[in-house]
């Protein structure tokens, strides 16, 4: 019996941990094409700003891996031959599998304009990309950043930290409008302006202009030209579904899996950014690009591969991130609820956030500390906490635990309600009652 895991990311590693917790004997082979192995991708943002050294990006030691007893093949899987239960790997002999996990993640959507292949056009998928960005980011240079989500902002912040002048292009009239509300977008934009970032609204690149093979500027949809040395883009990601598609597995925006993370071939599983898993909250199969769910999916897939039948119960997506230096926690469903927003998910993002639930908004705070709650009939369906993070832990528990908030619903929705204080009191009482029970 041989388990084969494709993908050296958090989903792949979690699957190995789960398999070993059940099956101490059988062979596990991990195939991965990233020369840097397993590291924290969310940590790349802090590597760019200089807050983290690359050595701090590795969550596991060589000893941790040794204990898990698996073999590693460095290489790229190019084909799955399902009839033979075999993988084709570039430059390597074929590899037979009894159980297969596809944990191949997602990749940046390409910038499809003339000049996009010029030297100085950058993206942020891997550690190698981050190292390349640092090589190019020198004081006195000018960069144009394109894209609306978390990663685009991480690129902006990385450049600012390295003394690069930044032009930040937004396609619409505000930052990340399908997840943040107007006030939240403006808080972020204001902070960027304070960092001397030039914001351009309704701005779309139509061409990267080159000189001697290097970036020299960009042309915008309105014909305007901006001179720059670098162009960095984060315009969304795409699940790496090619292997699954080629071998006839069911795919949609990602590889479709059932609650056991199983594809339509019962011996092939998928987990992490590449998997489109069922979300009971929105009753849809959705994509996440979040470390926590990727880990949870990988672990659950591993248990199922080793014969311990376990359903994947998706919890409310949760991310603590930094938007223009402001710690921000996003929980559950918080978006505008337009279905067309589902086109293109970004890094550190969840499709769940885009759905607007049947809910009323309660909010408080105007400047740095802001709190927005999506209040349903009896439950809180989502929350955004910006700045002061005192309430992010209780809110995560309240949203993901489907806690009945009927006793405070009216109070939360009253005009000028002190939403933060109401939640804090409720949580403190809730905990006391829970302990007594
Ligand atoms: C810049 C950045 C910022 C992020 N910010 C956040 C954040 O704030 N919060 C958060 O929760 N998440 C964040 N994420 C997302 C999070 O890192 C991912 O959700 C998570 O890493 C997904 O894990 P995975 O194992 O599914 O895929 P990945 O980590 O992408 O791993 C997939 C692996 O498969 C390998 N692979 C692909 N194809 C093949 C092939 N054919 N053959 C062999 N190997 C292959 C890849 O090289 C890679 O090593 C961020 C990601 C990035 C890049």
pLDDT for position 342: 43
Question: 13 CA distance to ligand 1 centroid (A)?
Answer: 12
Residue 74 has pLDDT above 80, yes or no: yes
Token pair belonging to 341 = 């927003």
Q: What whole-number distance in Å separates Cα of residue 392 and Cα of residue 405?
A: 16
> Facing residues of 289 across strands?
349
CATH fit for domain 110-233, picks 3.30.420.40, 3.10.450.40, 3.30.930.10, 3.50.50.60: 3.50.50.60
pLDDT at residue 341, as a whole number:
42
Annotated domain spans of the chain: 2-107+238-305, 110-233, 318-436
Say what the pLDDT of residue 332 is: 86
- pLDDT (average), residues 359-371: 76
The answer to whether the CB of 11 is under 6 A from ligand 1 is yes
User: Mapping DSSP to helix (H, G, I), strand (E, B) and coil, where does residue 348 land?
Assistant: coil
The answer to whether the CB of 80 is under 6 A from ligand 1 is no
Q: Which residues on neighbouring strands pair with residue 374, listed in sequence order?
A: 361, 382
Instruction: Note whether 2-107+238-305 and 318-436 share their fold.
Output: no
Residue 236 Cα, ligand 1 centroid: separation in angstroms? 13
Give every CB contact of residue 194 below 8 A, 6+ residues apart in sequence.
none
Helix 10-22 and helix 291-305, axial crossing angle in degrees, nearest 10: 30
Distance 9 CA to ligand 1 centre (A): 6
- For residue 44, report the distance from its CA to the centre of ligand 1, in Å: 11
**Rounded-to-integer distance, Cα 170 and Cα 284, Å:** 29
Per-residue pLDDT at 431 = 87
CA–CA dist 336, 182 (Å, integer): 11
Site to probe by mutation for ligand 1, drawn from 291, 298, 314, 353 as the one with most ligand atoms within 8 Å of Cβ, is 291
Distance 106 CA to ligand 1 centre (A): 6
- Mean of pLDDT values over 79-83: 98
If you search the block for the tokens 């007594």, which residue do you land on?
436
> Best mutation site among 122, 347, 350 for ligand 1, i.e. most ligand atoms within 8 A of its Cβ?
347
> Is pLDDT at 4 greater than 90 in this prediction?
yes
125-137 pLDDT per residue, tens: 999 999 999 999 9
Alpha helices in 41-126 (DSSP H): 44-49, 62-68
Please choose, from the candidates 406, 410, 399, 424, the residue with its C-alpha nearest in 3D space to the C-alpha of residue 362. Answer: 410
Of the candidates 428, 417, 375, 419, the one whose C-alpha atom is nearest the C-alpha of residue 399 is 375
Ligand 1 atom closest to the CA of 273, numbered from 1: 26
pLDDT band at 366 (very low <50, low <70, confident <90, very high): low
User: In this predicted structure, what is the pLDDT of residue 337?
Assistant: 53
Cβ–ligand 1 distance for 76 under 6 Å, the answer: yes
pLDDT for 315-362, tens place per residue?
888 889 999 999 999 998 887 655 444 446 778 877 776 666 666 777
Determine the Cα–Cα distance for residues 367 and 183; give it in Å rounded to an integer. 9
Does the pLDDT at position 92 exceed 90? yes
- For ligand 1, atom 33, name the residue with the nearest CA: 7
Q: Which fold has domain 2-107+238-305?
A: FAD/NAD(P)-binding domain (3.50.50)
Are the CB atoms for 16 and 28 separated by under 8 Å? Answer: yes
pLDDT band at 368; cut points 50, 70, 90: confident
Least confident of 168-182, 291-305, 327-341: 327-341
What Å distances lie between residue 177 and 170, 186, 200, 341, CA to CA?
Answer: 10, 10, 15, 10
Reported for 193-198, long-range contacts at CB under 8 A and 24+ positions apart, including other chains, are 195/160, 195/324, 195/325, 196/160, 196/165, 196/166, 197/156, 197/160, 197/166, 197/167, 197/168, 198/165, 198/166, 198/167, 198/168
Q: Is 261 in the pocket of ligand 1 (CB under 6 A)?
A: no
Q: Which CATH class name applies to 318-436?
A: alpha beta
CA–centroid distance, 48 to ligand 1, in Å, is 17
Length of the chain: 437
Give the distance (Å) from ligand 1 centre to CA of residue 23: 26
CA 152/CA 312 separation, integer angstroms = 31
Partners of residue 5 on adjacent β-strands: 30, 101
Q: 3-class DSSP state for residue 105?
A: coil
Confidence of residue 420 (pLDDT cuts 50, 70, 90): very high
Does the beta carbon of 6 lie inside 6 Å of ligand 1? yes
Residue 409 near ligand 1, beta carbon < 6 Å: no
Q: Which of 60-74, 246-260, 365-379 has the lowest mean pLDDT?
A: 365-379
**Any ligand 1 atom below 6 A from CB of 294:** yes
- pLDDT at site 149: 87
pTM, rounded to two decimals:
0.92
- Residue 401: closest CA among 383, 389, 416: 383
pLDDT at 190: 95
Distance 422 CA to ligand 1 centre (A): 38
Asked which of 76-85, 176-185, 222-231, 338-347 is least confident by mean pLDDT, the reply is 338-347
Token pair of 318 as six digits: 């949760």
Report percent pLDDT > 90 for the chain.
81
Which pLDDT value is given to residue 338? Answer: 53
**Pick from 118, 121, 79: nearest CA to 100:** 79
């Amino acid at each position: 019996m041989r388990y084969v895991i494709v993908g050296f990311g958090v989903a792949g590693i979690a699957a190995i941990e789960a398999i070993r917790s059940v099956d101490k004997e059988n062979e596990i082979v991990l195939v991965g094409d990233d020369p840097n192995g397993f590291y924290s991708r969310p940590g790349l943002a802090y590597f760019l700003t200089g807050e983290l050294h690359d050595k701090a990006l590795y969550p596991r030691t060589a000893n941790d891996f040794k204990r898990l007893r698996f073999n590693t093949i460095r290489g790229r899987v190019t084909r799955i031959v399902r009839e033979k239960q075999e993988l084709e790997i570039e430059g390597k002999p074929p590899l037979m599998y009894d159980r297969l996990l596809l944990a191949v993640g997602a990749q940046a959507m390409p910038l499809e304009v003339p000049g996009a292949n010029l030297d100085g056009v950058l993206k942020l998928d891997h550690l190698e990309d981050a190292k390349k960005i640092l090589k190019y980011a020198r004081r006195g240079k000018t960069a144009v950043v394109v894209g609306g989500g978390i990663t685009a902002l991480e690129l902006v912040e990385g450049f600012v930290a390295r003394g690069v002048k930044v032009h930040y292009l937004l396609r619409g009239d505000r930052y990340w409008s399908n997840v943040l509300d107007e006030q939240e977008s403006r808080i972020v934009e204001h902070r960027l302006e304070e960092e001397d970032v030039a914001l351009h609204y309704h701005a779309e690149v139509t061409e990267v202009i080159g000189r001697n093979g290097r970036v020299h500027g960009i042309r915008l949809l309105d014909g305007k030209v901006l001179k720059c040395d670098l162009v960095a883009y984060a315009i969304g990601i795409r699940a790496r579904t090619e292997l699954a598609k080629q071998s006839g597995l069911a795919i949609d925006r990602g590889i479709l899996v059932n609650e056991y993370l199983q594809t339509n071939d019962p011996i092939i599983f998928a987990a992490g950014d590449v998997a489109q898993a069922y979300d009971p909250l929105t009753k849809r199969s959705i994509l996440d690009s979040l470390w926590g769910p990727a880990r949870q999916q990988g672990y659950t897939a591993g248990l199922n591969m080793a014969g311990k039948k376990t359903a994947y119960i998706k919890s409310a997506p949760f991310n603590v991130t930094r938007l223009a230096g402001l710690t921000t926690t996003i929980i559950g469903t918080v978006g505008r609820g337009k279905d067309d927003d589902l086109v293109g998910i970004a890094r550190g993002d969840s499709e769940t956030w885009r759905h607007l639930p049947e809910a009323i908004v309660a909010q408080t705070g105007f400047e740095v500390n802001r709190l927005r709650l999506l209040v349903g009939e009896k439950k809180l369906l989502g929350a955004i906490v910006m700045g002061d993070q005192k309430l992010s832990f209780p809110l995560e528990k309240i949203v993901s635990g489907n806690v009945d908030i009927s006793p405070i619903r009216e109070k939360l929705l009253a005009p000028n309600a002190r939403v933060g204080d109401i939640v804090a009191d409720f949580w403190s009482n809730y905990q006391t009652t829970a302990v007594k029970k």
